[in-house]
Amino acid sequence: MALLKISEPGKRQSAINTKPAVGIDLGTTNSLISSGYRGNIEVLADTSGQFLLPSVVRYGKGVRPIVGWMAKEAAIGDPQNTVSSIKRLLGRGTSEVENMPQFEQYTFDASRDEGAPAIITEAGVKDPIQVSADILSELLSRAHDYIGEDIEGAVITVPAYFNDAQRQQTKEAANLIGLPVLRLLNEPTAAAIAYGLDSKEEGNVIVYDLGGGTFDVSLLCLKKGVFEVLATGGDTALGGDDFDYILSNWIAKQVYSDENPILEERGRLIAYANSVKHHLSLHESADLEFNNWRGSLNRKEFLEMCEPLVKKTINTCRRVLRDASLSVEQIDNIVMVGGSTRMPIVRQALESYFGRAPLAAIDPDKVVAMGAGIQAEVLAGNKSDNDFLLLDVNPLSLGIETMGELVEKIIPRNTTIPVAKAQEFTTFKDGQTSMIIHVVQGERELVSDCRSLARFELGGIPKMVAGAAKIRVTFQVDADGLLSVVAQELSTLKMSEIQVKPSFGLDAKAIEEMLRSSHQNAELDMELRAIKEAQIEGRQLIDAINSAREIDGDLLDELGHNHLDNLMHELSENISNGTIEEIREATERLNRVSSDFAASRMDLHIGHALKGEAIDNIDR
């Protein structure tokens, strides 16, 4: 008779042949963790049954940091030592965050000009990476309690518009607590995974993600299990917190004569505004009471107050559709993500713009964590009943600077990642032995209008005439959106490389401005590029002729030298002051006149090379 293995009542059933992996939604306002250890993806709760973990950390002298609900409550009485919305600081410099109104209660270490900003607390100086690591550590403790063993790895979600610096610091936070990162996953894409596997929908889907502190829109194409992000847009400094700030400022005008509450009451006022916002999501009006003031506010008044924010999100949807060359009628579904999408004013605005009600079958707070958990199970090697391919895109074009301060785009905007692309370049001057590789990001044609990411040098290039050397530059963007650049001289295989880790992030408004200006200045940029290229071609021709005259000048008589001098002077004048047509015409005239000189040089050098060779050996 076989024995049956039984477990004690209430004891957890262990998973069979499963590698423990988790999905983490590291949010601005709240964070969550999910696991598929028992076979189904579950969002893990704490001992009190709360699955949301407020992304708030309180630091005290000589004690362990407090994370979550207790820290959130402490923010009212001790705002300077309680850090919230830290996600907005990731990848930013100190000078950027000091002027952000959301962080006016913090004191920053002004001596740290570069890198992550440092917040001064009773427990010492803390930076965004450390604060994020403390939040991740608290989430990880939930997973350990649930699984009972070490975690194989985690998929951590980030906003689709996070740049290299913001993504890198997210990974560094996980590394700080020894948590292996299987992958960084865009939040809207994680939501698409959750909805795609559940509803088996195909077509074009807008993922509208309005969280506490960040906003993202992704346009995805779902076909036969393939998820492809066609275009993305968003704002890393827009979220539900901003609705709270608008409402708290309105209340402050009613309560305080100078409209500026004392620091100790600012936290309490924002918390109260948040509760009023939630009330108006369920009811048409709210009775207000703060300190000795009483009043009321209805949903329509709140809508008018917040209309600029809602309109800003709809404009982003419009830009994303334009980038993908799709119309509103071609959108099959709208997926709602983030707790802030519960606001009726948001849902009404989306339904009005797209002409259809958005999907909300999955809890908008949980959907990103669930998608991350599904992806974690796949990457950990656990069995999956569904096979799907996930393709993300890079939000801005990546390239290098070429002569004339022009940008050569190597990976265009909205290219599917992970991706590796290479392009060959050459030297501009005779005898050039090194080359500076200037990596830039942006949509404009001139370097001055784009963002500089990094510079590095490739040395050891053999001395050759201009244009003879071959340097291959390879750009590789991994699945986490991080960029590495390799430059290699092909004859000697000399190589130099760099991984782009900017010291601070790109402001969301600047990203929007870069995209807007690229559309507005497209025609002007192409004209400027054309004239720059004509100028470069002219200078190269002048340099080549001067180099040739130094070597074989005796092939020309005095009249020939004078003729070339006059034409080169004419071309130089046009390069400085002429139109593109004048530059091209002068270049063509100099090319025609110098062609006889070039032919004489070729005959001379071929003759020297073949001297003494038997005619039968020439073709061998």
Residue 349: which pLDDT band, with cuts at 50, 70 and 90? very high
Indicate the burial class of 483 (C-beta count within 10 angstroms; 0-12, 13-18, 19 or more).
Answer: buried
Structure tokens at 452: 């500089």
Answer for the pair 214, 87: CB distance below 8 angstroms, yes or no: yes
The pLDDT value recorded for residue 263 is 56
Q: What is the DSSP string of 354-392?
A: HSSPPB-SS-TTTHHHHHHHHHHHHHTT---S---EEEE
Answer for the pair 192, 320: CB distance below 8 angstroms, yes or no: no
Catalytic residue among 72, 87, 171, 409: 87
CA distance 95 to 250: 28
Average pLDDT over residues 198-203: 59
Interstrand relation of 471-477 and 451-458 (parallel, antiparallel or unpaired): unpaired
Average pLDDT over residues 178-193: 87
The pLDDT value recorded for residue 2 is 37
Q: What is the DSSP string of 327-364?
A: -GGG--EEEEESGGGGSHHHHHHHHHHHSSPPB-SS-T
The pLDDT value recorded for residue 11 is 42
pLDDT tens for 399-424 read 998 887 888 899 887 777 777 888 88
pLDDT tens for 426-479 read 887 788 888 888 998 888 888 888 888 888 888 888 888 878 888 999 998 876
Of 609, 13, 41, the closest CA to residue 378 belongs to 41
Catalytic residue among 42, 172, 187, 235: 187
pTM above the 0.75 mark? no
87 in active site: yes
Answer for the pair 52, 35: CB distance below 8 angstroms, yes or no: no
Domains defined for the chain, CATH in brackets: 21-240+305-392 (3.30.420.40), 394-510 (2.60.34.10), 523-610 (1.20.1270.10)
Q: Is the alpha carbon torsion for 573, 578, 582, 588 positive or negative?
A: positive
- DSSP state at residue 446: B
323 in active site: no
Residue type, 226: V
The pLDDT value recorded for residue 29 is 85
Average pLDDT over residues 40-60: 91
Answer for the pair 318, 255: CB distance below 8 angstroms, yes or no: no
145 in active site: no
Answer for the pair 186, 160: CB distance below 8 angstroms, yes or no: yes
pLDDT tens for 10-29 read 444 445 456 789 999 998 88
Catalytic residue among 25, 127, 216, 242: 25
209 in active site: yes
Of 18, 383, 24, the closest CA to residue 183 belongs to 24
Measured distance between the N- and C-terminal CA atoms of the chain, rounded to whole angstroms: 85
Catalytic residue among 42, 127, 172, 209: 209
Structure tokens at 17: 């042949």
Cα angle 117, 267, 141 (rounded to 5 degrees) comes to 65
The Cα-based distances of 298 to 40, 305, 340, 376 in angstroms read 42, 11, 18, 43
Average pLDDT over residues 577-601: 82
Structure tokens at 78: 């001790």
Spatial neighbors of 184 by CB under 8 A, at least 6 apart, are 155, 156, 157, 158, 167, 170, 171, 479, 480, 481
